[in-house]
């Protein structure tokens, strides 16, 4: 039976406005991660959320290893959803790797997008000469090897580490549970595409104004990454918020909401 786009990606639409704001979750997560942020925009926007294939309630049967061998496959998912819903003038809000996915989608079809908002983004996670990504290559390779050999153990360790905020262990546990609920084989390939990818050369191609929201303390995407992006992306604004960890939309939603609202008010 053929699935509709809305069913395939478990698309959810709420809000009273006509201006579309599209929230895209990060690796190993689903649209529920936006539950503290997205409702703040429902009074004035058409709020669209979805799950990537293999995540949340999206179809797992639609997964194709060749399509998702690069982030371009996920960018096409975003464009397929936008085309199906006939979305124009989109404000795209992406967390972590979805920031790069949205960036690629906006390069491919710039006329569909009005603004890009990137929460904890990184174009490249590996330290290079003249670039601080946050990890040595051997660290990433060990992380990926651990995922392959002991996925549950990896999730148990990485959930709290990525979330930080140790005084609130329930946040790290939620992320661990989310990782474990993701299709393991899909997560393993997505992790390689994410952590071994390099989108630094794509930054200069962005033709839309962008907001980069970076936590003051984030071991996955340190502030230096946000500063690099702001220097290389035309029409970009860097906002460092006083949040801990890689998921401020969960750990510091009020600050995240204010950063987005202030930016949209200042640039509309």
Q: Which residues of 118-132 are buried (b: 16+ CB within 10 A; e: fewer)?
A: bbbbbbbbbbeeeee
Report residue 16 CA to chain centroid gap.
24
Q: Of 198, 265, 201, nearest to 237 (Cα)?
A: 265
In a domain, residue 88? The reply is yes
Angle between helices 97-108 and 71-85 (to 10 degrees): 60
In a domain, residue 90? The reply is yes
pTM for the full model? Answer: 0.96
Residue 96 sits in a domain of what CATH number?
A: 3.40.50.1820
Q: Of 101, 124, 95, nearest to 34 (Cα)?
A: 95
Tokens 């609202």 correspond to 261
CA dihedral 67, 72, 74, 76 (to 10 degrees): -90
Q: How many domains in the chain?
A: 1
In a domain, residue 101? The reply is yes
pLDDT band at 1 (very low <50, low <70, confident <90, very high): very low
d(CA 101, CA 199): 10
In a domain, residue 16? The reply is yes
Q: Quote the DSSP letter at residue 88.
A: -
The tokens describing 211, both together, are 């907001």
pLDDT in tens, 51-77: 999 999 999 888 999 999 999 999 999
Residues carrying an active site annotation: 96, 218, 246
Structural domain containing residue 259 = 5-125+198-267
pLDDT in tens, 16-53: 999 999 999 999 999 999 999 999 999 999 999 999 99
In a domain, residue 144? The reply is no
Q: What are the DSSP calls for 235-262, one per residue? A: TEEEEEEEEESS-HHHHSHHHHHHHHHH
Query: What percent of the chain shows pLDDT beyond 90?
Result: 85
In a domain, residue 252? The reply is yes
């Amino acid at each position: 039976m053929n699935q509709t786009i809305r069913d395939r990606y478990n698309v959810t639409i709420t809000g009273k406005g006509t201006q579309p704001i599209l929230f895209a979750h990060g690796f190993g997560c689903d649209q529920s991660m936006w539950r503290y942020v997205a409702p703040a925009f429902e009074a004035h926007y058409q709020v669209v959320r979805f799950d990537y294939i293999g995540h949340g309630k999206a179809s797992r049967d639609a997964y194709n290893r060749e399509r998702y061998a690069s982030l371009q496959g996920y960018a096409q998912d975003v464009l397929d959803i936008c085309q199906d819903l006939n979305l124009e003038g989109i404000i795209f809000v992406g967390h972590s790797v979805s920031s790069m996915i949205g960036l690629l989608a906006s390069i491919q079809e710039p006329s569909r997008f009005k603004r890009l908002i990137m929460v904890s983004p990184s174009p490249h996670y590996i330290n290079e000469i003249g670039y601080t990504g946050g990890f040595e290559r051997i660290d990433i390779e060990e992380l990926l090897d651990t995922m392959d050999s002991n996925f549950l153990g990896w999730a148990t360790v990485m959930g709290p580490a990525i979330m930080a905020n140790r005084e609130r262990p329930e946040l790290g546990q939620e992320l661990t549970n989310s990782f474990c609920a993701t299709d393991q084989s899909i997560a393993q390939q997505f992790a390689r595409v994410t952590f071994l990818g390099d989108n630094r050369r794509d930054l200069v191609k962005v033709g839309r104004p962008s907001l980069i929201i970076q936590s003051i303390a984030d071991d996955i995407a340190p502030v230096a990454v946000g500063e690099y992006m702001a220097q290389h992306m035309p029409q970009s604004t860097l906002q460092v918020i006083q949040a801990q960890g890689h998921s401020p939309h969960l750990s510091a939603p009020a600050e995240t909401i204010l950063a987005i609202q202030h930016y949209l008010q200042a640039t509309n």
